Amino acid sequence: MKLGANYDAGCCTFTVWAPRAGQMAVHLLSPVESILPMKRVEPGYWQAVADHVQPGSHYLLGIDDALERPDPASFHQPEGVHGPSAVVDHANFHWTDRSWEGKPLEELILYELHVGTFTAEGTFAAIIPRLHTLRELGVTAIELMPVAQFPGRRNWGYDGVCPFAVQHSYGGPEGLKQLVDACHEQGLAVILDVVFNHLGPEGNYLRDFGPYFTDRYSTPWGEAINYDGPDSDEVRHFFIENALHWYRRYHVDGLRLDAIHAIYDFSARPYLQELAEQIEKSVRREGRPCHLIAESDLNDVRVIRPRDAGGYGLDAQFNDDFHHALHSLLTGENQGYYTDFGRVNDLTTAYRQGFVYDWRYSAYRRRHHGSSSADVPARQLPVFIQNHDQVGNRRLGERLVNLAGFEKAKLAAAAVLFSPYIPLLFMGEEYAEKAPFLYFADFSDANLVEAVRKGRKEEFQGFAWEEEPPDPHDPEVFSRSRLDWSLRDRDLHRVMWNFYKRLLNLRRGIPALALPERQQFRVDGEEKGIIWFRRGRETSHILCLMNFSEGTVTLPLPDGEGRKSWQKVLDTADVEWLGPGSGSLPVPIGEGDPVSLAPWSCHLYRHWLPAPEMVKGGTPSPKNPTTNCPPEG
């Protein structure tokens, strides 16, 4: 069943699942108002066909002559969540990305952004002129926070209630397609954040049509979706069709699945497994990837295990443990879910095997938690130092650079981008954006507004934050969260921008850093707050040293498995990056030679061997323009 109003060459077929309705009708509001009765089609679907409807026509669905509601699978809500739905001709858009083949998972460098605050205009169209800047930075994919229609004009997107519709204030269906097409022209993939665990509280009319929700479970955000109870087959179909809708009609390259730990399904064939199966079928037909990347706090590797090994078969899931371990070291925070972190060996464990909690005891949860991801490919565990949750779910929405300072922010960036995992950047971190990213909403119901205010206060009780949280419904809170792009060209912000570009150039240009893999990865050293690791790939080898302490540490260059000469290619403490300066010279050094690491700094060394012609006294080898050091032997 193709849900919604499907327009094709002058004919429009309306389809809705409403199993409890005694009768259904399409109330056409334009171009000429009329009532179109719908015919029941088992199991519980209703259909009507009209040959006098044009794209842009507005309509509502009538239920038993008692209610009129927007279409649950509406493709466009031009007047918001309470207004009529509009017919969209998806075949009318002129795509120019026919040669686009997508990006493999291991090549993703994700950049998460919120459409409403990424630019002053807050639209899809306003993002397009910035795409070349992201490409210059070294990003390979943008990850859009949810764009499904939500109440009002300001929202993170997780209160969406029309899962198939594109937020009208962002630019609607046409605007999103133009953005995706422009991204592909720039060589950027697009990952779209989707919410399959709940719907928002305002404008949520699905319950009027059928048993989309269940009272067997509950989520922190409201009713749980009915994935395993009576009539759940068609509910599952609704959300699988939604995933395919974004892939087929909007050409997105992947989906970030929000909080799958709140998708409650104890059936023998869980929804997530069925979703992965259906996406794979579509990928085989389309010939380009669609990555399914989960957010989950379960640390359960079954999510990403292949199905023939008992897993669901999703492509990746974010590793929150890496963030928590790194953030706690840099900020000293040890409250709430940071209670379990704060030791150098937590970050070392995250480097070695991914999840820190691999069925070990969690004081925060007061129970054992997680499963081992030591044998999971690194490309399946994306990591980050900031994202919308970790910034926006702070009382004052502070970014890491404001919490920890410039030197620690540089160390954090190097820790992520030199790791074997797929990195995610949060908009603005690449130039040390000062603006907070606060929680904001635009609900119209006064009782709901007050409930949200109260809920935000209660959410922070596990942290010793004394400040009153800003009012999410104050338009100024939204305005304060916008990026200030003018900073990128000024002072330390320009330095941070160039620093991130250098890190990403090194990651892309040195084979040992280029692919997320742990086969040749080695990590060791926790004394005096030092973590060091080696990564190797064929003839390419790097050595990375990080100082997570307040004092300068001098130590012999660690044993590089018989590789005698190393060239330093980056020191976060260099004056070039506004650091305190470094005591190590940028010349080839040997194992055992002393090196000094400034507080909260990182050194990256590349294995160096003189080229044959240099050994024989010939013409010196040209330098690698990416890293400004001699090519590897």
**3-class secondary structure, 276:** helix
pTM, rounded to two decimals: 0.95
With the CA atoms of 419, 295, 245 and 240 taken in that order, what torsion angle do they form, in degrees rounded to the nearest 10? 130
Q: Residue 624's pLDDT band (boundaries 50, 70, 90)? A: very low
Mean pLDDT of all residues in the chain? 92
Whether 22 and 65 have beta carbons less than 8 Å apart is answered as: no
pLDDT given for residue 607 in this prediction: 86
pLDDT given for residue 626 in this prediction: 41
pLDDT given for residue 222 in this prediction: 84
Which of 295, 321, 346, 389 is labelled catalytic? 295
pLDDT given for residue 469 in this prediction: 86
Q: Residue 619's pLDDT band (boundaries 50, 70, 90)? A: very low
pLDDT given for residue 629 in this prediction: 46
Percentage of the chain lying above the pLDDT 90 cut:
83
Task: Look at 72-86, 137-151, 168-182, 331-345 and tell me which has the smallest mean pLDDT.
Answer: 331-345
Q: Is the pLDDT of residue 290 over 90?
A: yes
Whether 504 and 134 have beta carbons less than 8 Å apart is answered as: no
User: Per-residue DSSP letters for 320-355?
Assistant: HHHHHHHHHHHH---SGGGTT---HHHHHHHHHHS-
Number of Cβ atoms within 10 Å of the Cβ of 135: 14
Task: Look at 312-316, 508-512, 515-519 and tell me which has the smallest mean pLDDT.
Answer: 515-519
Q: Is residue 297 flagged as an active site residue?
A: no
pLDDT given for residue 543 in this prediction: 93
Q: Residue 604's pLDDT band (boundaries 50, 70, 90)? A: very high
Phi/psi for 614 (5° steps) reads -75, -40
Span 4-90 CATH architecture: Sandwich (2.60)
pLDDT given for residue 430 in this prediction: 98
Q: Is the pLDDT of residue 178 over 70?
A: yes
pLDDT given for residue 517 in this prediction: 87
CA distances from 16 to 3, 83, 608 (A): 6, 17, 65
Of 309-323, 439-453, 577-591, the range with the highest mean pLDDT is: 309-323
Question: How confident is the model over 534-587, as pLDDT tens digits?
Answer: 998 888 999 999 999 999 999 998 876 666 689 999 999 999 999 998 755 557
pLDDT given for residue 65 in this prediction: 92
Question: How confident is the model over 20-79, as pLDDT tens digits?
Answer: 999 999 999 988 899 999 999 989 999 999 998 999 999 999 999 999 999 999 999 999
**Could you give the CA distance from residue 83 to residue 73 in angstroms, rounded to a whole number?**
14
Question: How confident is the model over 240-273, as pLDDT tens digits?
Answer: 999 999 999 999 999 999 999 999 999 999 999 9
Which of 258, 274, 321, 571 is labelled catalytic? 258
Across the range 226-252, mean pLDDT stands at 98
Q: Is residue 174 flagged as an active site residue?
A: no
pLDDT given for residue 458 in this prediction: 76
pLDDT given for residue 583 in this prediction: 56
**Could you give the CA distance from residue 384 to residue 326 in angstroms, rounded to a whole number?**
9
Q: Is the pLDDT of residue 207 over 80?
A: yes
Q: Residue 617's pLDDT band (boundaries 50, 70, 90)? A: very low
Annotated domain spans of the chain:
4-90
Give the containing element (helix H, strand E) for 8.
strand 4-8
Number of Cβ atoms within 10 Å of the Cβ of 310: 9
> To which residue do tokens 């809500």 refer?
77
Task: Look at 307-321, 494-508, 600-614 and tell me which has the smallest mean pLDDT.
Answer: 600-614
pLDDT given for residue 590 in this prediction: 84
Give the containing element (helix H, strand E) for 134.
helix 131-137
pLDDT given for residue 618 in this prediction: 37
